Amino acid sequence: MINPNLDYTLDFLADVPEPGLATRAWRFSNVVWLAAYAYAGYKGTQLWTRFIDDRNKAELYRRQDLRAAQALNRTALRLEGLLIKACQFIATRADVLPDEWVSTVSGLHDRVPPRPFAMIREQIERELRRPLEAVYAEFDPVPLASASLAQVHQARLHDGRRCAVKVQYPGIDGIVRADLRNMTTVLRWLAMIERDFDYRVLMREALKYIPMELDFIHEADNSATMRANFAADSFVLVPEVYREFTTRRVLTMELADGVKVTDIDGLERAGIDKHLVAQKLIEIFCDQVLRDGFFHADPHPGNILVQPGPKIVLLDFGLAKDFPPTFRDGIVRLTFSILTSNRDGIIAAFRELGFRTRNGNPDTLLAFADLFLGNTIKSKKAYADKDLIEQFNEELPRAIRANPIVEVPADVLLVGRMMGLLSGLGKSLDSQVDLFTTIMPYAQRLMMAQQSPAPAVSSDAPANTPAGK
């Protein structure tokens, strides 16, 4: 398996030609207009309710949420590329984002307007270096799904195997490169205007990881690793990749049917218990992070299907991460310390993972622990809700201003992103998962395996810790 690193991701797009000057300018102007429109709307609402009239404040913000989300949806459909990926992430955060945002952009998970079949045929034949009919006995020109970077078609190989063929849009790598540059510039301007909203660290992580999603050989390697890790688990299906018909821009794999994980009516019609699905999802991702040290970092609804059983079908491993053993051990110690409310253990684990603050005061790290997992555990909820996020959004900026975090390890941000996506799915599934009793056995076993002294359990920790899973 390719072991992704920063050099790989920076080099990957180095020789990719960007669109022409006129196209780049058009895309940049669209991104600037969107940012300015949304910012002006929220700033105007904030000033109006603060200094003029705060009646109907909630309704005013609801209307602004809808206007901004509709503008983002229109711009994403017009530009496609990276903005659609941003919308896909927003649509997973039903736990913390307004309904107006989630419902408006949720259709962009797998219903992006498809590219013409003639363009797709040409891309396949160019990549596989043979006529389409020489590879596939049947090929449905109507895509099963179309997303931000590629679309998927149903086909059948000449030996009878049914397959799904994922085809990258021609020229999308150059568009992604241009969009990354544009969004970096706009976020830099936003940080200059509103210093409390500096998201450039997230943009730097996007520069590292998004290019990986454009390399289908990398995705095939990740898929093979995940398939091997769950080979003995009857609750998980990872489709097989057919390597002989896979290149950097075309991926041919086993076709797996199922109900989209957020299709609650579809799950009910199939006789699938949504609460059991939520439980299995948490267990599967605990296995990935805490057992294997290799996890699917993009579990949005378009990448997860459910079959009766339930059996969870995992798709699209363009964004997956392989932890070094030392990093996984650090995550285990951090998780165990949060679960047991061990303040000293939390601070030590964060520092071991590579977090650095300006003056060394641990308050900011403790606030990050609440974001990572602590608030959800303390609330005894299966996902972070709006009240928890609002409380965090009030407390964390104060801690960061007093003691800025100057170094955040990239792997932790990916874990946090994955947990955010799962939290959103938990909200959609009305999850009843007890996170403490689900996660604690993993942490206990791994702490014992590390043969490290376990942090003492504080009096604030829940008392019903299970002995094992």
| pLDDT single digits (tens) 286-328 | 899 888 889 898 777 888 999 999 999 999 998 888 877 777 7
Residue 107 pLDDT > 90, yes or no? Answer: no
Tokens encoding 376: 């959800």
Give 241's DSSP letter: B
**What length does the chain have?**
469
Closest C-alpha among 369, 466, 8 to residue 209 = 8
Q: Would you call 7 a catalytic residue per the annotation?
A: no
Which residue type occupies 39?
A: Y
Structure confidence by residue, pLDDT tens digits, 19-62: 788 888 999 999 999 989 988 998 899 899 988 888 889 899 99
Task: Select which of 179, 263, 298, 370 is catalytic.
Answer: 298
If one counts every other C-beta atom within 10 angstroms of the C-beta of residue 260, the result is 17
Tokens of 81: 């590329």
User: Which amino acid would we find at residue 323?
Assistant: F
The whole-angstrom separation of Cα 165 and Cα 179 is 26
Q: Are 178 and 164 in contact, with CB atoms under 8 Å apart?
A: no
What pLDDT does 2 receive? 33
Query: With 90 as the cut, is the pLDDT of residue 161 above it?
Result: yes
Question: Would you give the distance in Å from CA 47 to the centre of its chain?
Answer: 33
Please say whether the beta carbons of 164 and 171 come within 8 A. no
pLDDT mean across residues, the chain: 79
Which whole-number Å values give the CA distances from 293 to 62, 82, 285, 298, 322, in the listed order? 41, 28, 10, 15, 6
